[in-house]
Amino acid sequence: MEYALFKSRSYRGVISKGLGLYFSHFRLFLKASWLMAVIFAVVFAALEMLLSIQLPALSATIMKQELVLKTGLSPEIAQQYLVSVGFAFLLILLFIIVEALTVGTVVNKLKEHHDTNTMTVPKRWLSISRRMMGRTLKGYVFTILTILAPVLLLAALVAVLHHFAPDAVMTWMIIVALCCMVLGLMTLPMLFVFMKYVMNTGKSYFSQLGASYARGLRHMGHIFTTMLIGWLIVCVLAGICCLPTIILAQAHWMSQEGFLNGDPLGMPGYITPLSFITYFLTGFVLVYICMPILLIVYYMYGSIETYEQEKEKNKLDI
């Protein structure tokens, strides 16, 4: 089966080639990324443990002191809560970094395919190629910063609307919802910008941002349709994979709700290690469930580039 990148394809062709490359080279991608996937799973499990066990437990204790016992908030609990919140922010930052580095291990093989139309299987299971990990991390950071600018403008708009029209809550909520929808759609071309940046190592991010975004914007329909179908497939599989995690998280939350009402926690002693193992396995499997999206974006980038090159060639011929 031919997996050439630079060929004009419909959204069906892009998805088909992305999934085909993934399944036909799964061992290669697994061997290239498994070590970073393990690190990602550890960070994912730690974050889930904090969000589903530690913070809900502290929140329940605070609410019980404030609302039930009427004793006021103790300084020790307040300090623990602030430390946990700060640790959660650090874990979220670490999560983004590790995710970018995990993506970088796959981007490294895609870059090889981009340049040579072939991919070699890593010789050792414990080898990590760092060639594209740094550039992928920079692409992640620059893309987040670029998207963050209009998000901050939207937050400023919400503050202004709330200040000048505090009673018209429904009106400005509708305006904000519409702005969020438009903003979400306008960020889709950033997928093309990101992939073009990591594949073209000779150029800086912001030097090609405007032209790349405009090119992606011209193919908004293609990007939207491709990503909608791709994410629907991935989200269904990810939802099934996350079911044990969701059930455990709900059990922890319900236990804390019962504690708030005066009931004992009622959770067995082995629930903490069981939760960590479940979250770890879920995080590891999620890496490989979500990986096809990266390959779909890769072929979408190749299809758009080919279309634009053929368009320019036709103009020159005329």
pLDDT in tens, 112-170: 888 888 888 877 776 666 778 888 999 999 999 998 888 888 778 777 777 777 676 67
Q: Average pLDDT, stretch 246-268?
A: 69
* Interval 77-86: pLDDT, tens: 667 767 777 8
Q: Which of 185, 186, 193 is nearest to 213 (CA)?
A: 193
* Interval 176-225: pLDDT, tens: 788 888 888 889 999 999 999 999 888 888 888 989 999 999 999 999 99
Q: Give percent of the chain with pLDDT exceeding 70.
A: 83
How many Å apart are CA 194 and CA 204, to the nearest integer? 11
Residue 277's pLDDT is 93
Out of 21-35, 156-170, 295-309, which region has the weakest mean confidence (pLDDT)? 156-170
How many Å apart are CA 170 and CA 176, to the nearest integer? 10
Q: Which of 88, 15, 80, 11 is nearest to 47 (CA)?
A: 88
Higher pLDDT, 260 or 134: 134
Q: Average pLDDT, stretch 262-268?
A: 62
Question: In sequence order, which residues have a C-beta less than 8 Å from that of residue 278 and are 6 or more positions away?
Answer: 244, 245, 248
Residue 44's pLDDT is 93
Copy the structure tokens of residue 22. 């993934």
Residue 266's pLDDT is 63
Q: Average pLDDT, stretch 89-94?
A: 89
Q: Which of 246, 248, 243, 238 is nearest to 286 (CA)?
A: 238
- End-to-end Cα distance, the chain: 35
Higher pLDDT, 74 or 194: 194
* Interval 266-298: pLDDT, tens: 667 778 888 899 999 999 999 999 999 999 999
How many Å apart are CA 282 and CA 46, to the nearest integer? 12
Residue 263's pLDDT is 58
How many Å apart are CA 172 and CA 176, to the nearest integer? 6
Question: Mean pLDDT across the chain, nearest whole number?
Answer: 83
- Taking the CA atoms of residue 227, residue 229, residue 47 and residue 129 in that order, the dihedral angle to the nearest 10 degrees is -60
Higher pLDDT, 100 or 316: 100
Whether the per-residue pLDDT at 71 is higher than 70: the answer is no
How many Å apart are CA 226 and CA 14, to the nearest integer? 7
Q: What is the pTM of this model?
A: 0.86
